[in-house]
Amino acid sequence: MHNLAQLVFNGLFVGSFYALVALGYSMVYGIIKLLNFAHGDIYMLGAFAGLTTLSLGSGALGGGFLALLVIMLVAMLATGTFGVVLERVAYRPLRNAPRLSVLITAVGASFALEYGIAVAYGPNPRVYQIGVSGGAFEFAGARLTYAQLAMMAVAVVLMVALDALVRRTRTGRAMRAVALDPKACLLMGINVDRVISRTFFLGSALAGAAGVMAGAYYGKVDFLMGFTIGLKAFTAAVIGGIGNMRGAVLGALVLGLLESFGVALFGSQWRDVFAFAFLILFLTLRPTGLLGERVTERV
């Protein structure tokens, strides 16, 4: 029971990081049916934006969790703005182009981000000069640190706020309407381009927040850190039902738990093999995901 509780907590903690990134995948796909493979690198960009903010304002910010929140807000603004620019420059001109063209553009944007950061900051890992340290306590046989609980709490607050925005505000109603029928929205006077830009801003901002938390928790960042978590977040979105926000969160938690138990059963070297093998098996049984709906296109 001691090991079980610890494995569950570890899985939920990792899943909360995956969820913040998976939401961006799911939102963008739900609106314009685009697989934004540069999204994982926006997570990396958020970590480096936090690193830059920390370097410039190290004396004024100090350390601790409050400084981390300030850095996170700056990184969210930076990555959200970058997401809007990326959509405007790279994706909007190709909105009516074949899907393969847009997909190749997304892959190109991913490489441009990765190696642009490598040129700007160097190829070697950089150390985060801030950490969320603190004590720990035991609950149900599992050892929980205050840093982990604080980061999970921040992730939950961000996810709940996004869910409330999408479901209870005018902007959220516009996003859901564009996801259903963008042409009808144009006829009803909805500015579709503005709605899509806001979607990119929100998804990119959440990825940036996850990047800062990952940098602070693990203590270092590098220009390739977004590649693996981008694939994992995409996997989580597919498991939950891509295009469904709550499904993305559920899929991320499921993936986090699978990795935690997979490491315990087979060892850390089998973590990724176990996760992606489950994805293949799962999609053969339920291609639409846990909360996805089967959609019939009329010809």
* Alpha carbon distance 266, 269 (integer Å): 8
Does residue 78 surpass a pLDDT of 90? yes
Is the Cα dihedral 289, 251, 47, 221 positive or negative?
A: negative
Q: What is the CATH number of the domain that holds 125?
A: 1.10.3470
Query: Is 48 domain-assigned?
Result: yes
The answer for 125, left when phi > 0, alpha when psi is -120 to 50, beta otherwise, is: beta
240 within domain boundaries:
yes
Could you tell me if 158 and 209 are in contact, meaning their C-beta atoms sit under 8 angstroms apart? yes
Contact 253, 15 (CB under 8 A): yes
291 within domain boundaries: no
Which of 93-97, 136-140, 269-273 is predicted with the least confidence, judged by mean pLDDT? 136-140
Mean pLDDT of the chain: 86
Answer whether 213's CB lies under 8 Å from 151's CB: yes
pLDDT in tens, 9-56: 888 988 998 999 999 888 988 888 888 889 999 999 999 998 888 887
Q: Could you identify the residue written with the tokens 């990765």?
A: 114
| Domain assignment of residue 230, yes or no | yes
pLDDT the model gives residue 294: 55
Any domain includes 295: no
> What mean pLDDT comes out for the span 63-78?
85
- pLDDT-based confidence at 145, cuts 50/70/90? confident
Which whole number is the average pLDDT over 251-271? 85
Residue 92 resides in a domain? yes
Q: Looking at per-residue confidence, does 241 or 2 come out higher?
A: 241
Q: How confident is the model at residue 133 (pLDDT cuts 50, 70, 90)?
A: low
- Residue 298 within any structural domain of the chain: no
Looking at the structure of the chain, the number of domains it has is: 1
Record the tokens describing residue 14, joined without a space. 């990792």
**Band of residue 196 on the pLDDT scale cut at 50, 70, 90:** very high
Instruction: Choose between 281 and 61: higher pLDDT.
Output: 281
Structural domain boundaries enclosing 239: 2-285
> Residue 297 domain-assigned?
no
Query: What DSSP state is assigned to residue 270?
Result: G
